[in-house]
Amino acid sequence: MNKNDQHLLSPYTFANGVELKNRIVMAPMTNFSSNPDGTVTEEEVNYYARRSKGVSMVITACTYVTPNGKGFRGEFGGDSDEMIPSLKQLAKGIKEQGAKAVLQMFHGGRMCPPELVPNGEIVSASDIPAEKGGASTEEPAIKPRALTESEVEEIIDAFGETTRRAIKAGFDGVEIHGANGYLIQQFFSPHSNRREDRFGGSLEKRMTFPLAVVDKVQNVVKEHAQSPFIVGYRFSPEEPETPGITMADTLALVDALADKDLDYLHVSLTEFFSTPRRGVDDVNKTRIEYLLETINNRVPLIGVGSIYSADDARKAFETGVPLLALGRELIIDPDWVQKVAEGREDEIVTQIDKSKQEQLVIPDPLWNAIIHTPGWFPGV
């Protein structure tokens, strides 16, 4: 092991006492590989198990908390107690390899493909269609129906219920998915939220739904978890739309979240060292720098974004982030952490090898998405 990697491989303990064996986490990534009924497939469990040996924590692809929140084909469900055996299989596959298993929970809102939700009815904070259409739909934008207040309350409760199922299934934690344009972000965004009730309006009011989900999840954990249970929250720093979330908006949300006794915050970035679009004075300062400054050591931040080599990771850790998530790189090279630990970092593979689907244990639906999406993965 390179002495520069001692920090990267050192343990990290959350405030709740849960210890991670190192600082590298597997980022949540959709894999399109579950059964049509929302149960996980054996291929999916094997895919996660293959990547769970070196990292300290695996954050799964998102699971939907209500039937009308399903955002992808081949997405697994967490919306009913019937799903607990399926979720248990996934948690077991990850934990048996020595990583903590964290279930990411979400509702797709206006990004759901109509064919995947009951009666084809898309819902959101308001009846504003997404400018680029549903990210997962490949069709023109569809006008969603604004949720009623009681429906909003039901969805908040559903996040709590899915948390209870995660506890029962043996997960070590949950991540609330408030990023990537899905429902929680839709309530926070001035683009998608034009409500005039308590869930919309001012910046503070647009935080009502995200913070209510956090409170609900934490209350369920207090009630049902027998041992320390991780609760994290993922967010996207900005939106390209006008009006849309600015860096300043996000810093206000992050400031509120940092006081919520969460175990971690997790930023969603394509490039770790990216700089803000708007809303701050110094656009040359990175988003990570702004976030760390705002958080001010109140809660750990997981950084992410195009980290491929050990050198990329070392540079990222120099910013002061305590934890780093790898996404595409762990699909390309599931043995990344082991290679760093054994001083074999020159053997790390940073481009997808199109001849090694079987050795990489990548299910067909995910493999086909990788191979047919030029520019998504290095080497394609």
Q: How far is CA 318 from CA 86, 128, 182, 219, 234, in A?
A: 39, 41, 31, 35, 22
What are the angstrom distances between the C-alpha of 350 and each of 50, 284, 307?
17, 28, 9
> Which pair of tokens denotes residue 246?
């600015």
Contact 173, 91 (CB under 8 A): no
- The stretches of 225-257 forming alpha helices (DSSP H) are 247-257
C-alpha–C-alpha distance, residues 230 and 264, integer Å: 8
Which is nearest to 376 in space by CA: 359, 55, 76, 368?
Answer: 368
Residue 360: alpha-carbon gap to chain centroid: 22
Q: Quick one: DSSP state of residue 129?
A: P
**From residue 303, how far is each of 124, 311, 319, 368 by CA, in Å?**
28, 15, 10, 28
Q: Element (H or E) spanning 123, and its range?
A: strand 123-124
Region of 306 (left: φ > 0; alpha: ψ -120 to 50; beta: rest) is left
Judged by DSSP in three states, 13 sits in: strand
Catalytic machinery residues: 182
CA distance 344 to 226: 40
Q: How many C-beta atoms surround the C-beta of residue 11 within 10 A?
A: 10
Length of the chain: 380
Q: Which of 269, 262, 124 is nearest to 189 (CA)?
A: 124
Assigned token pair, 254: 């992050």
Tokens standing for 380? 């394609």
- Return the ∠ at Cα 99 (arms to 78 and 136), rounded to 5°: 40
Q: To which H or E segment does residue 265 belong?
A: strand 264-267
| Beta carbons of 102 and 230 less than 8 angstroms apart | yes
